[in-house]
Amino acid sequence: MEREQVAQALSRNEVFVGADAATLAELASRCRVQSHRTGTTLIDQNDDDTDLFAILDGRVRITLLSAKGQEVNFRDQDADSAFGLLSALDGRPRSASVVALTDTRVAVITGDVLKRTMARSPAVMDAVTHHLAFLVRELSERVFEFSTMVARQRVHAELLRLAERAAPAGESGAWIHPAPTHAAIATRISTQRETVSREMSTLTRLGLVERRRGGLLVRDVGALEALVEAAHEGDA
């Protein structure tokens, strides 16, 4: 992959949005581009490396493993996102593992290069700050959901998160592609696959969701949001 192509791809990445051409060119010259096949582990939980990985193309899954061996799928990430930011900034061991869901290419940027770039580029500092704020908000939402919602309501909340990041479909819908498996949703919200399957069947009967062509159509994001808001208020 040519450096100009890498610089262009980095310009779209969530932690480098707004960086000027000179900054992007320097990052492209200092990074390593790696290709990983489907199923490859890019990061192991508790590893002590401190690189940042900017996804150029492909899709990865962030997973956490408990001391008892229980796996929790935290989220999936696509091109123009990044992972490994926390260790790149604080130098501490990896908090999660990352596995390639498809053939994936990443630009690997050392933590030292990232921090020097942040110091020189207000745009990169701002993008990283906004990304960290997003992570804190998402974690806060999940803590609240685990503390106050029953499993079926957590299904609604997870679907809403996916829908809000998905491509729009019509006036009020969203197209989630690829569709998450029921097992994957279950591990993200700490419940059983059967619970997710039952609630997805209910939402299908209500006409809120529909599986088609490998994706999941959320017909009315507003209605799904109303279900989640009602759960927040204790009315569901």
> Domain coordinates of the chain in residue numbers?
3-140, 149-232
| Chosen CATH of 3-140 out of 3.10.20.90, 3.40.1130.10, 2.70.98.20, 2.60.120.10 | 2.60.120.10
Q: Mean pLDDT for the chain?
A: 92
User: Can you list the positions of beta strands (E) in 44-153?
Assistant: 52-57, 59-65, 71-78, 82-83, 97-100, 104-109
For residue 190, the 8-state DSSP code is T
Q: Do domains 3-140 and 149-232 have the same CATH topology?
A: no
3-class state of residue 127 by DSSP: helix
3-class state of residue 209 by DSSP: strand
Gap between the Cα atoms of 121 and 109, Å rounded: 16
pLDDT greater than 80 at residue 30:
yes
Gap between the Cα atoms of 147 and 163, Å rounded: 23
104-109 and 32-36 as β-strands: parallel, antiparallel, unpaired?
antiparallel
pTM score over 0.85? no
pLDDT in tens, 187-222: 888 899 999 999 999 999 999 999 988 899 999 999
Report which of residues 65 and 183 the model is more confident about.
Answer: 183
pLDDT in tens, 216-230: 999 999 999 999 988
Q: What is the pLDDT of residue 236?
A: 47
Q: Are 97 and 45 in contact (CB under 8 A)?
A: yes
Q: What is the pLDDT of residue 115?
A: 97
| Chosen CATH of 149-232 out of 1.10.357.10, 3.30.70.1140, 3.40.30.10, 1.10.10.10 | 1.10.10.10
